[in-house]
């Protein structure tokens, strides 16, 4: 298998035919599994151009929740090696059930976040980060300095140096991103507009039955969902 992606990430992504997948992919205007562009939903209080402008970053990444942040493969390791390791790990890891999703502002962006219990989901993310670290090329100083520009705690700095990303382990907070960082006058209108759309999705427990491998082709091109790996029943 020829590697054609600059980086890979391990994410949760809902099945596109399910209600959550249909909503998330339409909201961001793209199916990351097929690459097809989708019509945006009609949302009271927001124009399509406002939605497009406010979702440019999550649209590039595809509707997902990060489990292991994007990483480049080191020399001598290819995508087939990575897929074999992910498959083996997922076969040894049970599916996860959390509490229902809620719409939440995290800093200046909006996301869907699972409610308690979430410990098993955090454990899954930690396992992926730890056990697959040999598949991660260490970040260079320039890349780490970009992370530092946001301002990091001592623990986040330690994680950045050790794991290549500051928001892992105890700093991990699973979320399904819906918007870019919004201005003060955007947050409430977008939250109000989204509340009705997501209400039906926030009733049942949130389950994670797969880990998805995403590929970043580089040059700010959209990420693609490359393969789904089922977790153990």
* 211-220 mean pLDDT: 97
* 108-128 mean pLDDT: 98
Q: Is the dihedral of CA 143, 215, 70, 130 positive or negative?
A: negative
Among candidates 176, 212, 172, which has minimal Cα distance to 82? 212
Long-range contacts of 36-45 (CB under 8 A, 24+ apart): 41/197, 43/193, 43/194, 43/197, 44/193, 44/196, 45/189, 45/192, 45/193
* 201-230 mean pLDDT: 97
Q: Cα separation of 215 and 145, whole Å? A: 23
User: Which fold would CATH assign to domain 7-230?
Assistant: Cyclic Phosphodiesterase; Chain: A, (3.90.1140)
Residue 1 scores a pLDDT above 90:
no
Band of the pLDDT at 55, cuts 50, 70, 90?
very high
Cβ 30 vs Cβ 52: under 8 Å: no
pLDDT at res. 3: 72
Q: Which helix (H) or strand (E) holds 67?
A: strand 65-71
Band of the pLDDT at 142, cuts 50, 70, 90?
very high
Q: Which pTM does this prediction carry?
A: 0.96
Alpha-carbon Rg for the chain, nearest whole angstrom, is 17
Which DSSP letter does residue 30 get?
B
Domain boundaries, the chain: 7-230
Residue 198 scores a pLDDT above 70:
yes
């Amino acid at each position: 298998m020829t590697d054609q992606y600059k980086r890979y990430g391990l994410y949760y992504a809902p099945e596109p035919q399910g209600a959550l997948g249909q909503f998330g992919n339409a909201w961001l205007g793209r199916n990351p599994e097929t690459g097809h562009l989708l019509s945006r939903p009609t949302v009271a209080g927001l124009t399509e151009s406002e939605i497009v402008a406010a979702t440019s970053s999550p649209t590039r990444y595809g509707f997902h929740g990060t489990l292991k942040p994007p990483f480049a493969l080191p020399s001598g390791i290819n995508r087939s090696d990575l897929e074999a390791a992910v498959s083996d790990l997922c076969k040894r890891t049970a599916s996860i059930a959390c509490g229902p999703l809620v719409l939440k502002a995290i800093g200046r962006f909006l996301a869907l976040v699972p409610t308690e219990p979430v410990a098993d989901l955090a454990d899954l993310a930690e396992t992926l980060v730890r056990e697959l670290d040999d598949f991660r090329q260490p970040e260079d100083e320039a890349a780490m300095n970009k992370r530092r520009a946001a301002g990091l705690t001592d623990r986040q700095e330690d994680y950045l140096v050790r794991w290549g990303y500051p928001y892992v382990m105890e700093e991990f907070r699973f979320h399904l991103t819906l918007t870019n960082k919004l201005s003060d006058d955007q947050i409430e209108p977008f939250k109000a507009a989204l509340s009705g759309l997501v209400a039906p999705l926030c009733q049942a427990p949130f389950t994670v039955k797969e880990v998805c491998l995403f590929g970043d082709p580089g040059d700010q091109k959209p990420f693609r969902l490359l393969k789904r790996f089922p977790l153990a029943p």
